[in-house]
Structure 1
Amino acid sequence: MDGNGNAGVLEGLTSLGRERARAEAAELVAMLRFRDAELVRTAGIESPMVRLVERSAIALEIGQAMGLSEGQVTNRLAAAERLRERGPQTWLAFRRGDVDWARSREIASTLLLLQRPESHDRLDDTVVAYAATHTVAELRAWLKRFVARVEAEEAAQRAEAARRQRDVQVTHVDDAMAWVNAFVPSHQAAAIDARLRRTPRPDGDDRTRGQLRADAFVDLLLAEDTPTTGRARTDIGVVIDADVLVGAEPGPAVSDDGTWTVPAEWVLEHLDPDDTFFHRLLVDPITRDVLAHEYVGRFAPDVLATAISFRDGVCQAPGCLRPARDCDLDHREPHPRGPTKGSNLWALHRRHHTMKSHRTLRWILPSGRTVDAEPATHGVPHGNTSDVERALARGLTAE
């Protein structure tokens, strides 16, 4: 592989991505300017009815010019205006091409969830650095965790309100089949998924994995103990900050792969240990330290391997969301030089593990800079930008 030639191609792709993001920003800026100008113009119309009709046509006119529906225009304008007003630093990063519209839209949706102005500022201070170096799916999970930790009480209230809406619906469709849709708390859904994932396959069974899961699901609902499902205990990993566990602060329990959060007290409630066991990984709220025990051998004992899997959640290669439970446990610094302990172990998808072993695994950032392999960042970063930086960003977004 010609490293120099391919490096040039990657730099070109990075430049094209930034140009695309800037073009998306330019479109939205133009849409906002047109909308704002029309609002000013129609403000002088005396008849309320005529003024309402004129303003209702704004989204239609923009849509005709852009090839978008009125609904798409309305949603984009609302998200862009929210980002411009509540996240000025993110808005500037979007206009520079540091983050594209897909990521900016996710951030704008999160700004709508956050209720306190200081939470808006904290998100605006920290999110760009993460969004610029991670995929949309990773950013979406990061934002969920951010909301659950920064506004823990509000998030818990919304979760309780949503839990009151739990329901199961059965919809019969064609060919003698039906859909069973359940709206249940995330930690219970995760336990169900883990139970189905552990369903053993009898010898000679030619069912697909999906068929096996479906049959096990029916067995769980319609029978107590069956040869298909057994009564194997289900393990679920969640991370809870130490100050949350002792009740000093409200906060969430975050799943091992970071895709869902629930109020911490939900998983601290009594659960049948014969069915589901939640591994509650205690982490320092400042340093995020989880593991400190060191082992002499090359292979980690099961308890450490399980803890690493729950800690990392997913493969630590950037953009890879392969669950850590399906990954290799790799020494970041090769054994025996590198010790078998938490700080030197991480989950890597087999393909990325092979790439690392052949010294071809590199993290290529959106800026085009290539860095050595380091763990993907999970969780909410600490620290804020200065008030001066925030005020300057708000001033620059006024144009």
Structure 2
Amino acid sequence: MATSTTDPIDVLTDVARARARGEFRELAAMLEFRDLELERIEAEVESAIKRFNERGAIALEIGEAMGFSEGQVQYRLSFADTVRDQSPTTWGAFSEGRVDLARVREIGHTISQLKRAESVHRLDQRVVTYAETHTVAELRVWLKQFVRRVEADLAVERADDERAKRHVSFQHGDDSMGFMGAYAPSHEIAAVEDRIRKAARRPVDADDQRTVAQREVDLLMAWLLSTSSRAESVIDANIAVTVDADVLGGANPGFAESADGRWGVPAQWIADVAGSGSTFWHRIVVDPVSDDVLAHEYLGRFAPDVLNIALRFLYGTCQGPGCMVPAERCDIDHRVPFPHGPTRGDNLGPLCRRHHTYKGHGILHWTTRPEPATPAA
């Protein structure tokens, strides 16, 4: 009887790569058909109107053959063209199954945001190494940070333009309910999020049967419907941002980025808040020197608040593989369990409750990431 020594996890990896190669063949075939049709139309069709119509019908033909709508075909062809023509390293990795369609789509979207050929070249050199070892969500964060860092001046201009478009929207739906949204600066959205999450999780009366989600919306509506007419806002939240030293000093344009990587705003926006005098700031300098707060060791099991805050700022998210739960909603866990492992920065890090439970049952063998996943500029 034949036997196999293949590790079952390797089988899953092979399946994932085979799926990605299949996605590449699908997209490459769509591009090839489109290119051949364009050549045929240019060579054979004399009427300008007919050429226009036949070119427009290419997406329809592809969609009918593959079960896609015209819009889906056009979208796929658009980012496929971008990646094939401007990121050969990514396209080659895609053909080998090292990155899949979802990652290629994110990379294509980022290339379309970059305005300088040098920036696209730098992305092509670096992105595959990160993309093939991280989840799509992590890659999306990395790409946003890359754009903000390599074209900071242009990104600040775009952010200022978008800030001018801030607005609220209201939509009434069925069953007596509706939706309300605000298009606003990310640091203000983060402050509102922090405030409402904390307030909704405070102890409630035993008779209160509402879920946390219900308490959150009830609090928001109560705040908005209060009788106060004061228009100015006061940011009262514990928000972690990182700013490069040259940006903080005003030498270069740049961004203040959230610890979890979900958002970034021009550093000047944060400076304006700091200068208002209405906000209390912690400043944590992350530097590998002997007296850095992360290098101190504490004899007890539970780290003091200043170390907890520093660790949450440093890592940003849960350190479970691919987990994007913000660090402020995580437990601070010992990599090597206490008392065998010390209560100090290099043995501590955030784990969400689910991954903390997995680690406690021996399912997750957690090690701290050596450094935050930040793209080099």
TM-score, normalised relative to structure 1? 0.82
SS at match of 1:21: helix
Q: Which residue of 2 aligns with 1:158?
A: 158
Q: Distance in 2 between matches of 1:273 and 1:332?
A: 39
Q: Kindly provide the amino acid, as one letter, of the partner of residue 210 in structure 1.
A: A
Q: Is the 8 Å Cα contact of residues 21 and 98 (structure 1) preserved in structure 2? A: yes
Q: Is the 8 Å Cα contact of residues 314 and 324 (structure 1) preserved in structure 2? A: yes
Q: Kindly provide the amino acid, as one letter, of the partner of residue 206 in structure 1.
A: Q
Q: What's the CA shift string for 1:4-43, capped at 9, x where partnerless?
A: x997221111101000000000111111111111111111
Q: Kindly provide the amino acid, as one letter, of the partner of residue 170 in structure 1.
A: F
Q: Is the 8 Å Cα contact of residues 240 and 280 (structure 1) preserved in structure 2? A: no
Using the TM superposition, give the Cα deviation of residue 282 of structure 1 relative to its aligned residue in structure 2, in angstroms: 4.3
* 1:261 equivalent in alignment to 2:261: no
- Cα 1:259/1:213, change in 2 over 3 Å: same
Superposed, 1:28-67 pairs within 5 Å as 28-44=27-43, 45-67=45-67
Range moving further from structure 2, 184-193 or 128-137: 128-137
- Cα 1:34/1:145, change in 2 over 3 Å: same
Q: Which residue of 2 aligns with 1:321?
A: 324
SS at match of 2:94: helix
- Cα 1:300/1:32, change in 2 over 3 Å: same
| Percent identity between the two aligned chains | 49
Q: What's the CA shift string for 1:160-191, capped at 9, x where partnerless?
A: 11110000123333444432211111110110
Q: Which residue of 1 aligns with 2:231?
A: none
Superposed, 1:141-156 pairs within 5 Å as 141-156=141-156
Using the TM superposition, give the Cα deviation of residue 376 of structure 1 relative to its aligned residue in structure 2, in angstroms: 7.7
Q: Distance in 2 between matches of 1:88 and 1:71?
A: 25
Q: What's the CA shift string for 1:82-126, capped at 9, x where partnerless?
A: 001111101101110001000110010000001111111111111
Using the TM superposition, give the Cα deviation of residue 270 of structure 1 relative to its aligned residue in structure 2, in angstroms: 2.9
Using the TM superposition, give the Cα deviation of residue 291 of structure 1 relative to its aligned residue in structure 2, in angstroms: 5.3
SS at match of 1:169: strand
Q: What's the CA shift string for 1:310-353, capped at 9, x where partnerless?
A: 22111111111222122221233445565433333211223433
- Cα 1:291/1:242, change in 2 over 3 Å: farther
SS at match of 1:253: strand
Q: Which residue of 2 aligns with 1:90?
A: 90
Superposed, 1:1-399 pairs within 5 Å as 8-44=7-43, 45-199=45-199, 200-204=202-206, 205-223=208-226, 233-270=236-273, 277=280, 279=282, 281-283=284-286, 292-297=294-299, 298-335=301-338, 338-357=341-360, 359-362=362-365, 373-375=367-369, 378-382=372-376
Using the TM superposition, give the Cα deviation of residue 202 of structure 1 relative to its aligned residue in structure 2, in angstroms: 3.4
- Cα 1:43/1:209, change in 2 over 3 Å: same
SS at match of 1:234: coil
Using the TM superposition, give the Cα deviation of residue 251 of structure 1 relative to its aligned residue in structure 2, in angstroms: 1.5
Q: Distance in 2 between matches of 1:378 and 1:232?
A: 26
Q: What's the CA shift string for 1:274-315, capped at 9, x where partnerless?
A: 6x556555457x99xx85441232432101101211221111
Q: Distance in 1 between matches of 2:97 and 2:283?
A: 40
Q: Distance in 2 between matches of 1:119 and 1:206?
A: 53
Relative contact order (C-alpha < 8 Å, sep 6+): which is higher?
1
Q: Distance in 2 between matches of 1:34 and 1:247?
A: 51
Q: Kindly provide the amino acid, as one letter, of the partner of residue 90 in structure 1.
A: T
SS at match of 1:330: strand
Using the TM superposition, give the Cα deviation of residue 194 of structure 1 relative to its aligned residue in structure 2, in angstroms: 0.9
Q: Distance in 2 between matches of 1:146 and 1:101?
A: 20
Q: Kindly provide the amino acid, as one letter, of the partner of residue 159 in structure 2.
A: A
Q: Kindly provide the amino acid, as one letter, of the partner of residue 213 in structure 2.
A: G
Q: Is the 8 Å Cα contact of residues 331 and 353 (structure 2) preserved in structure 1? A: yes
Q: Is the 8 Å Cα contact of residues 256 and 266 (structure 2) preserved in structure 1? A: yes
Using the TM superposition, give the Cα deviation of residue 246 of structure 1 relative to its aligned residue in structure 2, in angstroms: 1.1
Measured on the aligned residues, the alpha-carbon RMSD in Å equals: 2.8
Q: Is the 8 Å Cα contact of residues 317 and 376 (structure 1) preserved in structure 2? A: no
Q: What's the CA shift string for 1:136-173, capped at 9, x where partnerless?
A: 11111111111111111111111111110000123333
Q: Is the 8 Å Cα contact of residues 142 and 375 (structure 2) preserved in structure 1? A: no
Q: Is the 8 Å Cα contact of residues 317 and 375 (structure 1) preserved in structure 2? A: no
Q: Kindly provide the amino acid, as one letter, of the partner of residue 344 in structure 2.
A: K
Q: Distance in 2 between matches of 1:6 and 1:347?
A: 36
Q: Is the 8 Å Cα contact of residues 145 and 258 (structure 1) preserved in structure 2? A: yes
Task: Mark the runs of 5 or more structure 2 residues left unpaired by the alignment.
Answer: 229-233
Query: Which one has a larger percent strand, Structure 1 or Structure 2?
Result: 1
Q: Distance in 1 between matches of 2:178 and 2:141?
A: 31
Using the TM superposition, give the Cα deviation of residue 378 of structure 1 relative to its aligned residue in structure 2, in angstroms: 3.8
Q: Is the 8 Å Cα contact of residues 253 and 263 (structure 1) preserved in structure 2? A: yes
Q: Distance in 2 between matches of 1:30 and 1:159?
A: 38
SS at match of 1:119: helix
- Cα 1:72/1:7, change in 2 over 3 Å: same
Using the TM superposition, give the Cα deviation of residue 46 of structure 1 relative to its aligned residue in structure 2, in angstroms: 2.2
